[in-house]
Amino acid sequence: MPTPDLTPEAFAQARAFLEEQGRPLDRARFRHAFGGAQPTEVLAALRAYQNQDGGFGQALEPDCRAPHSSVLATMMALRVLHELEVPTDEPLLTEAMEWLHTQLHTDLDGSVWPFLPPQAEAFPHAPWWNQSEPGELARTFAGFRVNPRAELVARLWAWPGLLPEGLRAQLTLEARDAVLAGLEKGDVNSHAAAAVFAGTLEIPDDHRLPVLEYLADVLPDRVQTSPEEFAQYGLNPLMVAPTPDHPLAHGLEEPISAALLHLITALAGDGSWGPDWSWFGQFPDAWPTAESEWRSALTMDALLTLKAWGRLK
């Protein structure tokens, strides 16, 4: 049976939620995607999260409240810029990439981008961003070898010329090999980062196709497939195949169909989609603000996903 569409009434609820309670950034994204507004409005809202050093911070990623520039927040900014299909000479993009170049950490195993600066520990954040012990954050994220490196490398190919060609080639090879070494089954975001790599057609096939083949092999047994699973944090198939033209979409048709149905039925009474995670009691005073901002971001992302899959009437 075909997946039903989001009704016009439900869409109106989501629009009202964003206009009344959404972040300025997500309101601008909505008006651009669904109202024909110019991308300049989105860029102006995004600039509010950029620091003088060119990186992004200011809780653009709501689970980290630190104002300092971070790879985490800058990666979120790049997602918005990619959504807008900005040209390579967009100042927000070039400044962010210049900052990212300064954040590479190189050792005998290659070069990676640590997610957060040490200063972020002093500000409210989710438990998985804890770094009170030396090396704690790197252990949590497997040395940053796949997440965030694979996604950031993909962006370098989508916008060529922003880093030296030799460095981009080195990072691409290292990201590919890190994925092919195997991903832990429960490492949700590494699979999502690898999927961005596999879906970026600008990456040369000798690097991209092995990652695509690996993911196509393992994902059917790793993505969520049932309403009970979709209601919890996990590897939703829409995370790895957010659009029907993603090369991983064809092999995940059934779980994607189920995920779209769940997405449509999971709209809350206030017209929002909320996070399926919490901070488990850490920084209880800050979590309500983070949750509210996530509702804004996730509602906008849900509408874009439903639009991409043709599920809006």
pLDDT in tens, 22-33: 999 999 999 999
Q: How confident is the model at residue 4 (pLDDT cuts 50, 70, 90)?
A: confident
Domain that holds residue 178: 23-234
Q: Which residue has the tokens 């990456």?
A: 203
Per the domain annotation, does 242 fall within a domain? no
* pLDDT digits 0-9 by tens, 58-114: 999 999 999 999 999 999 999 999 999 999 999 999 999 999 999 999 988 899 999
**Position 288 in a domain:** no
Domain count, the chain: 1
Q: Measure the CA–CA gap between 154 and 78, rounded to whole angstroms.
A: 11
pLDDT of residue 17: 98
Answer whether residue 153 is part of any domain: yes
Specify if 177 maps to a domain: yes
Say if 156 falls within a structural domain: yes
The pLDDT of residue 3 is above 70: no
Integer CA distances (angstroms), 228 to 222, 260, 301, 306, in order: 15, 14, 21, 20
Read off the pLDDT of each residue in 244-256 and give the average, rounded to a whole number. Answer: 98
Whether 121 is covered by a domain: the verdict is yes
Domain assignment present for 307? no
Q: Is residue 2 predicted with pLDDT exceeding 70?
A: no
pLDDT above 80: residue 295: yes
* Max Cα distance, the chain (Å): 56
Residue closest to 263 by CA, chosen among 293, 222, 303: 303
Token output for 228: 């009970």
Task: Tell me the CA distances in angstroms from 180 to 145, 147, 148, 177, 249, one per residue in order.
Answer: 11, 13, 15, 5, 20
> pLDDT over 70 for what percent of the chain?
99
State whether the Cα torsion 146-147-149-154 is positive or negative. positive
